[in-house]
Chain A
Amino acid sequence: MTLQTIGNPPSVKGHYEYHSVIGALAGSGPGFSGPVSLDFGPDGNLYVASRGNPNQHEAVRVTRCTKDGEYLGQMPGWGEGEGEFIWITDIAFNAEGKLFATEEHTHRINVYDPTDFSFLYTFGEHGSGEGQLDRPSGIAFDSCNNVLVVDSLNNRVQQYSVDGKFLGQWGEFGDGEGQFNMPWDIFIDGDDNVFVTDWRNDRVQKLTRDGQVLMVFGGSGDGEGQFNRPTGIATDADGDIYVCDWMNDRVQVFDAQAKYKDTLIGHGGVSKWAQDYLDANPEIEHKLKLAEQNIEPKRRFYRPVSVKVDTDNKVYVADCYRHRVQIYQKV
């Protein structure tokens, strides 16, 4: 089996088919460098945030491409100044189509106009008081266009108006209901149900936007329905819940009642961008093929961090250590 020949293998339980892959490692231009977050823009395109690496500043960026993997542009911006970022963590579009990005080095939320990536405004500062942040992580919006931010080291979720005014907060450190241990991501569905990956508690909490707990599921382990540090989370139109089970290198799918449904393990082949590279470097392709035993692991997810489902029921997963986005089609 070579890297190129791959059909549409199914997920573990067969509810999903592998669809395609976008990306390859690149410090700039077509490619990603440790992608940690993705979202769909108002233009219908895919936006991917790369965490980069510490001596390649331009690699920290947000990339825009079509859902078919055509490269359209990027927003670099490494730095500590206004609108700049060093440790980008999550990106999300609000209803007005503005691009919000959490930055956990300077503990801020930056807001951009995605059409030209111009910087609009920023809010947040370091601390543990009301409205202050200590390593903001996931970000999402409720139906009133309010902003909910996972304030990871303060073990809480904070609510802001769209222009950054503090509205409220909930959560505290602990492992009881409504308590958190370094939460990572947040997702809000159409009914304002809030899903938070409670990272170090290896579980997911479903809450109202005021922080009332509706459901808790998960637990530590690598069995069905268990997690090893869950990261990205999203739901689809059917109410199915997708959780990036980070250190188990898989994405688990649950139904709306949190009953285990399926597991995606990753089937990525060579993307168009990767093929462009291999065409120019045939000896690398040759070496990849020679190392047969290394091919299967290279298809699999390696620390998936972010997941989103589009209106066509396609599931997009940011496959962080393999620098790509793998796409599945719900059957």
Chain B
Amino acid sequence: MTTETKKDPILVVIQLTGGNDYVNTVVPYTSSTYYDNRSNLGVAPEDVLPIDAEFGLNPALAPLKRLYDDGKVAIINGIGYPNPNRSHFRSMDIWHTCEPDKIGDEGWLGRVIRDLDPKHENVLKGVNFGRGLPRSMSLTGVPVASVAMLEAYGILTGIQGEPDRGEALDLFAKMYRPMIGSGPVMEYIGQTGLDALKGADILKTAPTLYNSNVEYADSPIGRNLQGIAKVLLSGFETQVFYTMHGGYDTHANQGPFHPKLLGDLSQAISDFYDDLREHEASDNVLMFVFTEFGRRVKDNGSGTDHGAGGVAFAVGDPVKGGMHSEYPSLLPADLVEGDLEFNIDFRGVYGTIVEKWLGLDPVPVVGGHFEQLEFV
């Protein structure tokens, strides 16, 4: 889809927390090695949703498959980084900061937001849906709104009902106005408080501006993506959205858990896409779905443990659909300590998004030059 009106590119990042099981997400359904390793948890060949002669999607991803068939989904195979770290914490940190060799404290999306809005003109350039700020968006001096629930977002939300709440916010605005002679720290806090109030004032209008015929399936990720849709469609010029979907650490009882997660995720993505589409807003939105690592090839009887190489997805109208990068070999000789070997560095994938989609210089954002792909 092309459009003549120039709209700012928007990026929506969905983090799958816990380590999504790659080989049960994109299933190599003709590989006997796969079924040998997944004697308890293999997805049967007749159940997968084939995308080609070798690979198919987990049946719970049917809504994503629909988008795939429309050319809206890029599957980025074998994504990872050198010397993979199998800890959630550390590995997620590496994905957030692009610093595999030291503990970094700047998030890559923080740098993106800084470069998109170098003068900090828009307090809502970056919006996270969830409690607390993910390190990926954290950068000193870059304001990012973190919204647990849009309807409940704001200052002094504990005060309900008018006129009390209105009075309290008026008083708050008064108390935070510049105060001569109070010193730089008081002044800074005052300005920050007024910025927060401004951001909250803008954000609270989003639910009233939003109107849609799309009904989202009820799930945590569905609620967050609908929240993103509300803000995105309200014209606040937010360009970077972030949210998380947790529970992918399927050491045990993966059989029922994993398909439920994939089902919720793909339904939410599909609802979100339809919502944007209904509002003719899908052409400038790129979704990027990632996880900190894939899981071990061999199952442990009831679940799978932490592994390395994984899969990411790019979804949306701007995407060149299909399989990108190589699916790593499952043959025992090709595994690294029982895990898939990565073949595309995630920083190259970030770089692709930063350069080809957001139009920024990727080098300072991802910390170097990395091989890019052609999915945008």
Contacts and interface: CB of A to CB of B under 8 A. Distances in A.
B300 A280 contact: yes
Given A282-B338, A283-B337, A277 B305 contact: yes
B52 to A, nearest CB: 29
Given A277-B305, A282-B338, A28 B252 contact: yes
Contacts of A71: 302
Given A276-B300, A277-B300, A280-B299, A29 B252 contact: yes
Nearest to A281: B305
B118 interface: no
A84 to B, nearest CB: 19
A273 B257 contact: no
A58 B254 CA distance: 12
Nearest to B304: A280
Given A277-B301, A277-B305, A280-B298, A28 B253 contact: yes
Interface string A301-314: 00000000000000
B313 to A, nearest CB: 26
Nearest to A30: B302
A35 B298 CA distance: 28
Contact of A281 (B252, B296, B302): B296
Interface residues of A, number: 16
Nearest to A26: B252
Given A280-B298, A280-B300, A29 B253 contact: yes
B252 A31 contact: yes
Most B-side CB within 10 Å, residue of A71, A277, A282: A277
A27 B300 CA distance: 14
A283 B339 CA distance: 12
Given A281-B296, A282-B338, A27 B251 contact: yes
Contacts of B251: 26-27, 277
A273 B301 contact: yes
B190 interface: no
Contacts of A82: none
B305 to A, nearest CB: 5
B303 A29 contact: yes
Contacts of B298: 279-280
A30 B305 contact: no
A117 B305 CA distance: 29
Nearest to B338: A282
A28 B254 CA distance: 9
A26 B302 contact: yes
Interface string B271-303: 000000000000000000000000010111111
B252 A280 contact: no
Interface in B241-259: 251-253, 257
A28 B253 CA distance: 6
A278 to B, nearest CB: 9
A276 B296 CA distance: 13
Contacts of B252: 26-31
B272 to A, nearest CB: 26
Contacts of A282: 338
Contacts of B305: 277, 280-281
Contacts of A31: 252, 302
B257 A28 contact: yes
Contacts of A28: 252-253, 257
Nearest to B257: A28
Contacts of A29: 252-253, 302-303
B244 to A, nearest CB: 14
A273 to B, nearest CB: 7
A279 B304 CA distance: 11
Most A-side CB within 10 Å, residue of B257, B300, B302: B300
A27 B253 CA distance: 8
A276 B257 contact: no
Most B-side CB within 10 Å, residue of A30, A31, A281, A283: A281
A276 B301 contact: yes
Contacts of B338: 280-283
Contacts of B257: 28
Contacts of B301: 30, 273, 276-277, 280
In the A-B complex, the 10 residue pairs with the closest CB atoms: A29-B253, A276-B301, A280-B300, A28-B253, A26-B252, A29-B252, A29-B302, A28-B252, A277-B300, A280-B298
17 contacts: A26-B252, A26-B253, A26-B303, A28-B253, A28-B257, A29-B302, A29-B303, A31-B252, A58-B253, A273-B301, A276-B302, A279-B298, A280-B298, A280-B301, A280-B304, A280-B305, A283-B337
Interface of A: 26-31, 58, 71, 273, 276-277, 279-283
